[in-house]
Amino acid sequence: MWVRGRPQDNSDCGVMFSRGIRFFSQLCTQRYEMIGELLGREQHDIALLQEVWSEKDFLFLKRKLSSSHPYTHYFKSGVFGSGLAVFSKHRIQDALLYKYSLNGYPYMLHQGDWFGGKAVGLVIVDIFGLKAHVYVTHLHAEYSRAQDEYLPHRMVQSWELLQFVRHTSCGADLVVLGGDLNMHPQDLGNRLLRSHTGLRDCYTETDTFDGCEDGHTLIAANHFSKKQDLIPFEKGIRIDYILMKGSQKVSMKCESLSTTKGPVADKPYPYSDHEALTAELALLHSEDSRQHGSSNGEDSHTGMASKCLEHILTKTFISFLDLDTVIYLAVYGTVTGLPVFIQNILNCVPKTKEAFMGLERHGGK
């Protein structure tokens, strides 16, 4: 992802997904050269990239962008790195990495999710006097929509991601999250993320869109995309996102969003197997936002949270328990095994006891 801004209350935000495994990916060196040229030419304020697996490739981009993006951070995780990298025109004040507790299986050597150590990275940047918390992440791949054995992994990652954003974005004037969530817009993990954080999807919020049909970021026309990944979605899927949220000090509005459309001009191949995203965001200070009737979107997401929970919680008196704990343990227990799940449930005995006392007071109904 990359962000481009201007001191006037407008800023452009772009997201790019760079995928290059040195010695394995096709045309890896050439594509990093293209990405470096693009970032230097477009002058985005912040660039967030995923799947920069080789630190050598990161250092190449760092040298190439030293004048346009002098501030950088490379998030190291797992065996060969998280692949997450940040390039910024503005000084990075702080950075933090959280590695997801579930990351696939080590014996699935050909997939590499476990070895990469999927994670979320945070950089805190001062942009024109505003404190911006910018997140970049990459969740576990789906591989098969029909037989998705990694759905519990992405659910746990989604839950940990939203908790990380909630607890680290306090005090931020601007919050932007970009990355490959490997989830369709209406997938449960995606809706939980947006409903619990108040983050808004730039694709659904934008005034103007120019890009692939329905905002798809994985399309059949892309030279590097695996056609089996698109079954049964022949036209493509939207699994890469720019999410945003303002604050009481400033609100955010997406004025335009665009994606790349496969091959690059004058080149027979694209930047990556995923399409890059670019968004233009308007920043309105509190007085301006009231005049324009803008909001940060938290109220619009209040009802969404309860709808998401309906997919998991079906018992009336389950509300006596800590809902956050129940959701997380239910998914985590599915993956780690029944013994661990039971042990974690026992840790909630005080709340469980209170719930049963409530049931008894209501006559067990």
Q: Name the residues annotated as catalytic.
A: 274
Cα separation of 315 and 151, whole Å? Answer: 23
Q: What angle do CA 65, 66, 69 make, to 5 degrees?
A: 65
Cα separation of 259 and 135, whole Å? Answer: 19
Only one residue has tokens 């009737």, namely 293
Long-range contacts of 258-265 (CB under 8 A, 24+ apart): 258/209, 258/210, 258/211, 259/210, 259/211, 259/212, 259/215, 259/216, 259/217, 260/211, 261/211, 261/212, 261/219, 261/221, 262/219, 262/221, 262/222, 262/223, 263/223, 264/34
Cα separation of 16 and 273, whole Å? Answer: 11
Alpha carbon 83 to chain centroid, angstroms: 14
> Dihedral sign, CA of 178, 179, 184, 190?
negative
Asked whether 235 and 219 are in contact (CB, 8 A), the reply is yes
The phi and psi torsions of 188 (rounded to 5 degrees) equal -55, -45
Q: What angle do CA 239, 167, 200 make, to 5 degrees?
A: 35
Tokens of 270: 């694209």
